[in-house]
Structure 1
Amino acid sequence: MNADYITYRRATSVSLIGLTLQALMCITLLVYGFMMRDAYPADATTDVLRAQAESRIAIGDLPAIAAAMMMGVGCLAWLALAITFDQHRRERIEALEASTLGEQGVGSVFGQKNENEFKPAARRLAAMHRVFLPIISLVMAAGYIGMGVWRLIEGRERLGFKIPTQHLEWGLAICIGLAVAGFFIARYVAGMSRQKVWANLRGGAAVAGGSAVTAFVIGIGHLVDLMGPDVVSRTLQVVVPGVMILLGGEVVLNFLLNMYRPRKAGETPRPAFDSGIMSLVAAPDSVIKSIGDAVSYQLGYDVKGNWFFQLVSRLVAPLVGVGLVVIWLLSAFAVVEPHQRGIVTRFGKMMREVGPGLHVKWPWPVERVEVPVYLQRDERGRMQEVARTATGIRVVQLGSTPSSKPGPVLWTNEHGGGEVFEIVQPSRFGEAAQVGGEIAQVAMECTLAYCVGDVAKFEQFAPDYQREEIIRSVAQREVMRHMAHLSVDEVLGADRVKLAGEIRGKIEAALGALNPDASGKSMGAGVQVVSLTIGKLHPHKDVAPSYEKIVIAEQKRQERLEVANASKIKTLAKVSGSIERAEEILAEIEKLRKLEDAKAPREQVVELEFKIQKMLEDGTGTAAANIADAASGRWGKHMGERGLASRYVGLNASYEASPAIFRASLYFEAWREAMAGNLVYLTDDRVKDLRIEADLKEKDSTVNVFQTEPPK
């Protein structure tokens, strides 16, 4: 084919058509990707679904948006080809004009000059191949790698999210339509690129072919999602960005190879964005030839004439077919790992449960082995796939998040993590018990540990991304119901010991009532509750000082009770000798009081009084000593009075024997007692002028310090 301006004008037109179709594919897929935001309800009821909805509303459908970005970067290739081929057209027109002037013998008025001096179009064309196309290639590489890394980070964070099915039919139709359109333009342009003058159209064909394959794969993912699991669509969230990074790396590698590749004279340089990988997609009937062309282009000589290359070219189709059949037959074997339990499904219907080991089944897609997915929430509230297993203990937090801060945690401290308050009844004492309609709040750390008991029931229970949320919601409902009937005194008091056992029983019953079969009978969630642990329980931080006052008052009351009890023990032990004997005596005194109140016979009362007195006398305390002292005093007084009575009898007998002598003796006895200790002088009244000499010194009024013995 002649390399005239008409040829390049056609290439320019095809490049502009390819640019238009590529832009339409990009815009269509981008609009669809953001349209998927509506498939995620913003009013989701659970935290995980709400976080998933908010994330999806912000970014839309990741595979579709990543593919749209890849198509958008590919528009630069079509634009660069259109500009380059248009410059080729201008260069051909310029060369034709120069050739016509040369044939007519027309020369320059300025004399003989360089033949390229008056060919600006040719110089611009050379500059485009030397500068413009490499710059466009590097810009495309930066776009592929930058957007690919950005989308890859987002995709890895959302691998555990469930893909919605609301608009999948639209997505399937759009992706298949874009794939067909892209494949047709890629095949058409690839056919044109076989002509030497249109060789650079391979870059546009590669871009269109890559876009078509990407849209087709996304459509296949939507089809699989509609028929079964969404594993393909979720995997494409990282596969499409990975392909973008791979294409960017290939463009950079082509750019480096073009710098050192030997060039032939008159050869049109191949742009770095001409992807050899995508060229295989654009021309699937000549895969080996494309590889040979790429190798020949890089090495500088033709390798397609080699006998080995010819042999591989003839046998590649049968080898690929046999390989695909072998791969398909290998899907009849499934390996279940030691920590897994699998379920064999035939066209979505559960057939049997299988354990660890190698199992034979019908090839895909007739039968598949499904292993339950273990999803866990991370710190940001998103569900992440931890492993595919049905064994091990799974933990669900039903209340406040346990604090990771070291040291003691008091009621008045700031508690780390999100606190969940349970509604309980107010205190049954004080003002709260007299006011109706009051409630109280208590923060509680409650951890539920469970394991999978029946894999089939667990798999039928709910979708993998909703199982833990349903279990958590059901368990939290039972916790809320049970706590609502308890008072704050029962929750914070001694009754909290049996609280975990009561709640666990209700949670087990609630989980057993889930998952009804076709007849409406509950099969259960297929899980077993291993333990329910209640950790810290405390009221709100703002009311904690009030509880502290109650505790302090209770401690003071207890202190006073202990002091009173100690005083009681001391007093009773002092009185009776021991606390045990005191309690026995008090019991007998209580019986005596009851007998007196009941008007019992006097004999019983007296008998019990003597018994109590005997018990007091047998003791070693002050009561026994006082009773002994009283008995001794009574006996002394009795004997004294008895002596006085006997003396009176004797005096009476003396009087009867001789009254005169008795009276005289009493008279003189009275005088003796009256004059005892006094100086009395007896004189005769007949003595005249009586003079008496007497020593009037008081000998007993002073103390003789030298006297060793007391005076008698």
Structure 2
Amino acid sequence: MLTKIASLFENPWGEDNTQKKKPANNANKDQAAQDLELLYKKYKGSFDKFNPNFNSFKGIILGFLAFIVLWLLTGFYTVGPDEQGLVLRFGKYNRTVSPGLHYHLPAPVEKKIKVKVTKINLIEVGYRSIGNNVQSRTEESLMLTGDENIVDINFEVQWRVKDAYNYLFNVRDAFSGNTVRSAAESSMRAVIGKTNIAVALAEGRSQIEEESKMLLQNVLDSYEAGVDIVRLQLLKVDPPLQVIDAFRDVQTAKLDKEKSINQAESYKNDIIPKARGDAQKNIEEALAYKNAKIADATGKSKRFLQVYKEYSRAKDITRKRLYIDTMTEVLDKANVTIIDGSVSKTGVMPYLPINELNKVRK
């Protein structure tokens, strides 16, 4: 098309039909040539005056057409494999494009925006990393726990864009990440606000991370922010620097208290079973003693009844036998010495050690 336009300006009078049509004879050809020569001479002056302006106009047209072509060529663009493309027409969303080569009407009619949807973005809450230095942001890091203590928390959030349209049009100042940071801080405060400080400082970290991540994702989804939370990680959970020494003293006292309680529990668990065992042993010994005494008394009573029965039959014999048995039992345990007074006049010591004699006899 441009070639035809250019040829038009090269020959503003149109195509030369005289070269395409063959004259009927040489006379007609010569006559036509003479007529054109006369016509050229007649209007030569006027044509010379008009021709410079016409050449200038032709240059403007060619330049404008070249500009239009270059302007149209600026509409070609590519979307990377890790990106989503959005096309705006006069500032209003028109369409979403996938990775590859695409075309849009050049600016200012249409405009493209490319968003990386696989890139993992990182935001820091409670601190900022500047080179090798870390600056604390206490307005973000100090949080109130469920038991009305204060903790100093630093954490980071890794996130990515999962829906470019929602991310660009539903999130204010999307590329700065401030919306995600504010939502992350609010979610962490909500979770810490129902957690005791002892849990937050010790075994509750993983639970806090999981609950905060879920809450943050739910908040962003409710806003249709088009953001996917990949990871939330606690980096520091400490008491505030101003009271950390006092807090450590309190924690030490609590540990000592727990230690004393554990020792007391251990002593209780040791002494109570022993006491119960001793009590059971005493009970069993008492029962055995009771049974033995009862059996002994029962046996003695039966023996007494038998003796009494025999005594009733022969009182003198039984009485004498009981006397002999009793004396035998008594004297067997006593230290017996017999002195005969009738022999004392002879000068002989009347001494008879019965017990020693019994021992020798035995």
Q: So what's the TM-score if we normalise by structure 1?
A: 0.36
In structure 2, relative to structure 1, the CA distance for the partners of 1:558 and 1:483 (3 Å cut) is closer
- Partners of 2:317 and 2:130 lie apart in 1 by 113
- Partners of 1:500 and 1:694 lie apart in 2 by 110
2:249 equivalent to 1:549? yes
In structure 2, relative to structure 1, the CA distance for the partners of 1:698 and 1:539 (3 Å cut) is farther
Aligned-partner residue type, residue 479 of structure 1? M
2:338 corresponds to: 680
Aligned-partner residue type, residue 559 of structure 1? K
In structure 2, relative to structure 1, the CA distance for the partners of 1:679 and 1:440 (3 Å cut) is closer
- Partners of 2:131 and 2:150 lie apart in 1 by 23
- Partners of 1:711 and 1:558 lie apart in 2 by 75
- The 3-state SS of whatever aligns with 1:693 is coil
Of 178, 186, 190 in structure 2, the residue corresponding to residue 469 of structure 1 is 178
C-alpha contact (below 8 Å) 1:452/1:526 kept by paired residues:
yes
C-alpha contact (below 8 Å) 2:78/2:100 kept by paired residues:
yes
C-alpha contact (below 8 Å) 2:143/2:152 kept by paired residues:
no
By how many angstroms is 1:353 displaced? 0.8
C-alpha contact (below 8 Å) 2:339/2:351 kept by paired residues:
no
2:118 equivalent to 1:391? yes
Deviations 1:287-329 (A, max 9, x none): xxxxxxxxxxxxxxxxxxxxxxxxxxxxx99998787555333
1:637 corresponds to: 293
Alignment of 1:48-127 (within 5 A): none
2:235 equivalent to 1:535? yes
- Partners of 1:561 and 1:656 lie apart in 2 by 74
Alignment of 1:52-451 (within 5 A): 324=67, 326-372=69-115, 389-401=116-128, 417-420=135-138, 421-425=141-145, 427=147, 440-451=149-160
1:39 corresponds to: none
C-alpha contact (below 8 Å) 2:338/2:354 kept by paired residues:
no
Deviations 1:368-406 (A, max 9, x none): 32224xxxxxxxxxxxxxxxx23322121222458999x
C-alpha contact (below 8 Å) 1:401/1:417 kept by paired residues:
yes
Deviations 1:205-259 (A, max 9, x none): xxxxxxxxxxxxxxxxxxxxxxxxxxxxxxxxxxxxxxxxxxxxxxxxxxxxxxx
By how many angstroms is 1:663 displaced? 4.4
By how many angstroms is 1:443 displaced? 0.8
Structure 1 unaligned regions, length at least 5: 1-315, 373-388, 406-414, 428-438, 515-523, 577-620, 701-709
- Partners of 1:511 and 1:497 lie apart in 2 by 21
Counting aligned pairs with the same residue, the percent is 23
Aligned-partner residue type, residue 638 of structure 1? I
By how many angstroms is 1:504 displaced? 3.3
Aligned-partner residue type, residue 397 of structure 1? E
1:656 corresponds to: 312
Of 194, 207, 219 in structure 2, the residue corresponding to residue 498 of structure 1 is 207
Deviations 1:313-353 (A, max 9, x none): xxx99998787555333213111122221111223222111
By how many angstroms is 1:622 displaced? 6.1
**Once structures 1 and 2 are overlaid, which stretch shifts more, 553-562 or 348-357?**
553-562
In structure 2, relative to structure 1, the CA distance for the partners of 1:402 and 1:360 (3 Å cut) is closer
- Partners of 1:569 and 1:462 lie apart in 2 by 62
By how many angstroms is 1:502 displaced? 3.6
C-alpha contact (below 8 Å) 2:142/2:152 kept by paired residues:
yes
Deviations 1:48-105 (A, max 9, x none): xxxxxxxxxxxxxxxxxxxxxxxxxxxxxxxxxxxxxxxxxxxxxxxxxxxxxxxxxx
- Partners of 2:211 and 2:217 lie apart in 1 by 10
In structure 2, relative to structure 1, the CA distance for the partners of 1:557 and 1:404 (3 Å cut) is farther
- Partners of 1:653 and 1:636 lie apart in 2 by 25
- Partners of 1:458 and 1:711 lie apart in 2 by 121
By how many angstroms is 1:682 displaced? 4.2
Structure (1/2) with the larger strand percentage: 2
In structure 2, relative to structure 1, the CA distance for the partners of 1:461 and 1:664 (3 Å cut) is closer
- Partners of 2:292 and 2:202 lie apart in 1 by 63
- Partners of 2:214 and 2:221 lie apart in 1 by 11
In structure 2, relative to structure 1, the CA distance for the partners of 1:367 and 1:482 (3 Å cut) is same
C-alpha contact (below 8 Å) 1:424/1:487 kept by paired residues:
no
- Partners of 1:711 and 1:623 lie apart in 2 by 49
In structure 2, relative to structure 1, the CA distance for the partners of 1:356 and 1:667 (3 Å cut) is closer
Aligned-partner residue type, residue 144 of structure 2? V
- Partners of 1:669 and 1:404 lie apart in 2 by 114
In structure 2, relative to structure 1, the CA distance for the partners of 1:354 and 1:491 (3 Å cut) is same
C-alpha contact (below 8 Å) 1:400/1:444 kept by paired residues:
no
By how many angstroms is 1:697 displaced? 9.4
In structure 2, relative to structure 1, the CA distance for the partners of 1:622 and 1:403 (3 Å cut) is farther
Q: Which has the larger radius of gyration?
A: 2
- Partners of 1:487 and 1:637 lie apart in 2 by 65
In structure 2, relative to structure 1, the CA distance for the partners of 1:528 and 1:575 (3 Å cut) is same
By how many angstroms is 1:354 displaced? 0.9
In the comparison of the two structures, how many residue pairs are matched? 298
- Partners of 1:348 and 1:485 lie apart in 2 by 45
- The 3-state SS of whatever aligns with 2:126 is coil
Aligned-partner residue type, residue 475 of structure 1? A
By how many angstroms is 1:635 displaced? 3.3
Q: So what's the TM-score if we normalise by structure 2?
A: 0.64
In structure 2, relative to structure 1, the CA distance for the partners of 1:354 and 1:330 (3 Å cut) is same
Aligned-partner residue type, residue 365 of structure 1? P
Aligned-partner residue type, residue 86 of structure 2? I
In structure 2, relative to structure 1, the CA distance for the partners of 1:683 and 1:483 (3 Å cut) is closer
- The 3-state SS of whatever aligns with 1:341 is strand
Aligned-partner residue type, residue 349 of structure 2? E
2:220 corresponds to: 511
C-alpha contact (below 8 Å) 2:84/2:98 kept by paired residues:
yes
- Partners of 2:130 and 2:198 lie apart in 1 by 24
1:693 corresponds to: 349
- The 3-state SS of whatever aligns with 1:371 is strand
Aligned-partner residue type, residue 336 of structure 2? N
- Partners of 1:623 and 1:402 lie apart in 2 by 69
By how many angstroms is 1:550 displaced? 3.4
- Partners of 2:194 and 2:272 lie apart in 1 by 45
